[in-house]
Structures are given as structure tokens and as C-alpha cells.
Structure 1
Amino acid sequence: MTKAADLRQKDVAGVEAEIKDLQKAHFGLRMQKATQQLTNVRSLRITRRDIARAKTILAEKQAAK
């Protein structure tokens, strides 16, 4: 789980990299779910919310420029 305080300490490039990593992880979880290999379905929701949190902080940082 990504904390908002950790994301706010990163620069714009760091937050963008975090979003990219989270999206890759979410894709992998979706593929596991599709092939019925995913045991913890809750991790999909957590990852999706982490992506949204990171995108929100990225928008805040870009608006502050």
C-alpha cells in the first residue's frame, strides 16, 4: 500500500514512475484473476486505489507549478 505522504515527498518524475509500476502490477493481478490464479482478490482494489492516489498527487504537483 502506497502512502500519500511518501508520494508527496517524491518529485513529478518519481510519482510518474510509481504510477507506471502500479499499473504494471495491476495488469499482472488482472491476468492472474483471469486465469483463476489470484487468491487475494482484494489486492486488485488496493492497487487500483493506489493508482488513483498517485494520480491525484501528480495532478496536485502539476497544478502547483
Structure 2
Amino acid sequence: MEISEIRAKTKQELQKMCRAEREKLRSLRFDIKLKQSKNVREIRKARKLIARILTILNAKKGEITKN
């Protein structure tokens, strides 16, 4: 997902997306531990996406407090 797509979303959509990505990350870790999946790179991608979402959420929160 591109950063511009993330910036276009509302605060509620970002929070929902963050919860979904965290759940996905949890299940990926679980699958790796059980050796059901060997795609370790997906964990990195999920973590980076969560970080991007949280960064945009914090930026939007900063915009609200400045106004």
C-alpha cells in the first residue's frame, strides 16, 4: 500500500486498518512458530505498514491539536 493511499484515509479507517494489520502480524508469527509458513519477509512488511499507519495517525493528531 502506498503512503498516499494511507494519507487519504480517515482516522477511523486508519485505526481499523492498524488493528487488522496487528492481527495479521500475530497470526503470521504464530504460523512461523508452527512452521506452517516460511515467508518470514511478510512479518517485516506487516511491521513496516503498522509503523506507517501509526506515523500518519500521529501526524493527523498533531494537526488537530495545532488548530
Secondary structure of the 1:38 match is coil
Instruction: Kindly report the root-mean-square deviation, in angstroms, between the aligned alpha carbons of the 2 structures.
Output: 0.7
Match of 1:30 in 2: 29
Runs (4 or more) in structure 1 with deviation over 3 Å come to none
Match of 1:18 in 2: 17
Match of 2:40 in 1: 41
Match of 2:60 in 1: 61
Q: Distance in 1 between matches of 2:3 and 2:56?
A: 8
Residue 62 of structure 1 and its aligned partner are, at CA, apart by 0.7
Match of 1:50 in 2: 49
- Long gaps (5+) in structure 2: none
Q: Distance in 2 between matches of 1:63 and 1:45?
A: 27
The code of the aligned residue for 1:3 comes to E
The two structures have a TM-score, normalised by structure 2, of 0.90
- Listed one character per residue, the Cα deviations across residues 20-55 of structure 1 (whole Å, up to 9, x for unaligned) are 110010001000011011121100000000000100
The two structures have a TM-score, normalised by structure 1, of 0.93
Percent sequence identity is 27
